[in-house]
Chains A and B, each alone.
Chain A
Amino acid sequence: MKNVKFIYLKITLLLGCVFIVTSSCEREISDDVEFVTAPKNAEIFIDGFSGGLDYFPFAGSKLNAFSVDAEVKYKGEASMRLDVPNFGDPEGAYAGAIFPDAGGRDLTDYDALTFWAMASQAATINEIGFGNDFGENKYLVSKQNMRISTYWTKYIIPIPDPDKLKLEKGLFWYAEGPENGDGYSFWIDDLKFEKLGTIAQPQPAIANGLDLVQQSFIGTTILLDGLTQTFNLSTGINETVIAAPSYFKFSSSDVDVVRISELGIISPVGIGSAKITASLGGVKAKGSLMLEVVGNFDFAPIPTRDPSDVISIFSDAYTNVPVDFYNGFWEPFQTTQSADFVIKGDNILNYTNFNFVGNQFSNPTVDATATPNFHVDIFIPGAIDPGVNLLITLKDFGDDAADGGGDDEIQQIFFVSSDFVGDAWNSFDIPITLANKDRIGQIIYENINFSPLSNFYLDNVYFYKE
């Protein structure tokens, strides 16, 4: 449920117009000015919608997933009922919606969103939170993988920094898909903002609290991620939510090397090293990102083959076929992370902490019978360790067109350190020797023989005919 698309674009446009109008003249504010403050109404749903509240489901979700239930309720007269569809339900693939107040509310007096909830079965709600207004979502907060049970439980979603929420429109949102293919229902009651007074000991983090070092290039755009805020609750539990970049104050140790915007967008601008750090509400965030900017990016050779001779898996020069994933995160043994980046419109796959990784394209598989050659461009930053041993495996899924099933066939292509030049693109063109190449579904890259390769870039992965 991560790729949620919004409907009601009109709202965004309207808001955009309002912003333009209101920001067009900048004058000194008189000392006599009294700011008009938004209402401080804390209630969202007690026994019915609070005044001004709207309901907008996400595109692709079951539009009628929400109803008011007078039978099942925590207390009072009614609760919010949310129906998650079964897998394959024509009405929608999941349940998800926002509950905004277009006028906005002043939530600075509160420290948490709280509610009571129960479900028809034990489940894990993908995402639930506030700050989603189908606009900028500037102060979006998401609690991921919230466990819910068959009895009423009170949930607390802390506000990362209440001072930011002077005019918040996005009061509540959620997105939840079927559990193992099965739909179910859950109920939420007494949904409101509260000043609990027990939300304490903030531990903000960027880069998931890790101190990362990453090589980068001038002209790249990198989005800082792993932004979280953690509070200790009265129960002693540390509650972590994903917090939007605008809650943080970012800084770069050298703005002549790397700059970062208030939206967490990092732009390397000069050669050298710079460290990105942050704070939230005056508390230093754990984690940092050290960028080593090595200069302008050396692009892979632009492919020159005629598009009609190519079936592309990953390239900006061609239209790619549908790909399930470029990094499937095969648990539990895979360590490979993705740090993909874009430079001047050129998408680059970057695998870090590499041991093995796969590209999969099974819906549908690729028939490479007429394009019986494989092309890949590989860039390994730094000097090549003599121990580098890279194995690339092309896998044909066989008659069942599915991974496994005993009919798969593989081709293994071995590379050693002398096949690569460091800090440069290495282009490989390899004939496909598979007996059947009409249902190719995977390309797997792996370190073998204790190869120390940990970081490389990929571009222009495609099948072609001469």
Chain B
Amino acid sequence: MKLRNIRQRSLNLDLYNFIIKRLTVLATLLLLVSCATEETQSVATFTELVMQDEFDSDGAPNSAIWDYEIGNGDNGWGNNELQYYTDRTENVSVQNGVLLITAKEESFEGSSYTSTRLLTKGLFEQKYGRFEARIRLPYGQGIWPAFWLLGANGEVWPQRGEIDIMEYRGQEPTKVLGTVHGPGYSAGEAITKSYTLLNDRFDTGFHIFGIEWTPEYINFYVDDVLYNQITPADVTGEWVFDHPFYIIMNVAVGGSFVGSPNNETTFPQTMLVDYVRVYKNNALN
């Protein structure tokens, strides 16, 4: 039952998006699920767009939505990462309808690499809803791009909660991971699942990475595919996903999750973001 309901929800969203090329698929799904919804259920819908950045204006990212974290963080942002984050045009810019976050190999402020980490902290924060971005990823050993959420409730990590909508190791160009971190299930013990493309890779074309988030679950999507659902029963500790979160997009270099770049890693490496869109959970927001 659950899975059918999930299909129903994603279907509504897709209809909203008017993605014509999927209409045939949708029609088929519609037939399959049309008799399945029970009237007693409260069906979450994610149809109302509340934040979107289509990256249509060349130049710096829209400062009404995006802020920066500059520097090399504490102990490489807690992960022994090697890059120094800047807000320079070389590392971040909007061009031709796409946001570019570029990791470069260069000596800068004592680091060997530079890149950018954008965040919506204090600018856009939301509890529940659908968060999605259409991204073409970079590649190569030691490249670590991510599209993720951090809890904005003033708690320390991991009590504040972290939802990694998409994390990826440049040396595994066909695989992404969706993860939640909270108290008792953080870092190496985080609740995670990977999704692997068959006969395709994440660095050769755009893919949509999204979550649909309600009090009962967080669903993880790549394109139209729901590949994981995490519920309060799945986490091995307190469920800390009932407060607003903000968005982070970054390309890290090196660190414990990916290991360092090697002599085959080519630089610069750029993550291209076509859009970021957030919908509210109609039943709750």
User: Which chain A residues have a beta carbon within 8 Å of chain B's beta carbons?
Assistant: 195-198, 200-201, 203, 232, 234, 236, 238
Q: How far is the CB of A207 from chain B (nearest CB, A)?
A: 18
Contact B170 A234 (CB under 8 A): no
**Chain B, 221-268, CB within 8 A of any chain A CB:** 264, 266
Contact B174 A234 (CB under 8 A): yes
Q: How far is the CB of B62 from chain A (nearest CB, A)?
A: 31
**Chain B, 185-212, CB within 8 A of any chain A CB:** 198-201, 203-204
Contact A198 B139 (CB under 8 A): no
A to B CB contacts below 8 Å, 27 in the list: A195-B199, A197-B198, A197-B199, A197-B201, A198-B173, A198-B174, A198-B199, A198-B201, A200-B173, A200-B201, A200-B203, A200-B204, A201-B139, A201-B203, A201-B204, A203-B266, A232-B139, A232-B140, A232-B203, A234-B174, A234-B201, A236-B139, A236-B141, A236-B171, A236-B172, A236-B173, A238-B264
CB-based A-B contact count at 8 angstroms: 35
Q: Closest B residue to A195 by CB, please name it.
A: B199
Chain A hits for B204, CB < 8 A:
200-201
Q: In the complex, what distance in Å separates the CA atom of A203 from the CA atom of B204?
A: 14
Q: In the complex, what distance in Å separates the CA atom of A221 from the CA atom of B171?
A: 42
Chain A hits for B198, CB < 8 A:
197
Chain B hits for A201, CB < 8 A:
139, 203-204
Mostly helix, strand, loop or mixed at chain A's interface?
loop
Chain B hits for A232, CB < 8 A:
139-140, 173, 203
Q: In the complex, what distance in Å separates the CA atom of A328 from the CA atom of B4?
A: 70
User: Which chain B residues have a beta carbon within 8 Å of chain A's beta carbons?
Assistant: 139-141, 169-174, 198-201, 203-204, 264, 266
Contact A236 B170 (CB under 8 A): yes
Q: In the complex, what distance in Å separates the CA atom of A203 from the CA atom of B173?
A: 16
Q: How far is the CB of B271 from chain A (nearest CB, A)?
A: 15
Q: A201-B204, A232-B140 are in contact. List 18 more A-B contacts (CB 8 A).
A: A196-B199, A197-B198, A197-B201, A198-B173, A198-B174, A198-B199, A198-B200, A200-B173, A200-B204, A201-B203, A232-B139, A232-B173, A232-B203, A234-B174, A234-B201, A236-B141, A236-B169, A236-B172
Chain B hits for A203, CB < 8 A:
266
Chain A hits for B266, CB < 8 A:
203
Q: How far is the CB of A321 from chain B (nearest CB, A)?
A: 43
Which interface residue of B139, B200, B201, B204 has the most chain A CB atoms within 10 A? Answer: B201
Contact A197 B200 (CB under 8 A): yes
Chain B hits for A200, CB < 8 A:
139, 173, 201, 203-204
Q: In the complex, what distance in Å separates the CA atom of A234 from the CA atom of B169?
A: 12
Q: In the complex, what distance in Å separates the CA atom of A198 from the CA atom of B203?
A: 10
Which interface residue of A196, A198, A236 has the most chain B CB atoms within 10 A? Answer: A236
Q: Closest B residue to A240 by CB, please name it.
A: B264
Q: In the complex, what distance in Å separates the CA atom of A198 from the CA atom of B174?
A: 8
Q: In the complex, what distance in Å separates the CA atom of A198 from the CA atom of B171?
A: 13
Chain B hits for A195, CB < 8 A:
199
Q: Closest B residue to A200 by CB, please name it.
A: B204
Q: In the complex, what distance in Å separates the CA atom of A201 from the CA atom of B173?
A: 11
Chain A hits for B200, CB < 8 A:
197-198
Q: In the complex, what distance in Å separates the CA atom of A203 from the CA atom of B263?
A: 14
Q: In the complex, what distance in Å separates the CA atom of A201 from the CA atom of B200?
A: 12
Q: In the complex, what distance in Å separates the CA atom of A196 from the CA atom of B198?
A: 8
Q: In the complex, what distance in Å separates the CA atom of A200 from the CA atom of B173?
A: 10
Q: In the complex, what distance in Å separates the CA atom of A187 from the CA atom of B28?
A: 46
Q: In the complex, what distance in Å separates the CA atom of A451 from the CA atom of B114?
A: 42
Contact A234 B264 (CB under 8 A): no
Q: In the complex, what distance in Å separates the CA atom of A2 from the CA atom of B136?
A: 42
Q: How far is the CB of B112 from chain A (nearest CB, A)?
A: 21
Q: How far is the CB of A6 from chain B (nearest CB, A)?
A: 35
Q: How far is the CB of B260 from chain A (nearest CB, A)?
A: 14
Q: Closest B residue to A234 by CB, please name it.
A: B174
Q: In the complex, what distance in Å separates the CA atom of A195 from the CA atom of B199?
A: 8
Q: In the complex, what distance in Å separates the CA atom of A238 from the CA atom of B198?
A: 19
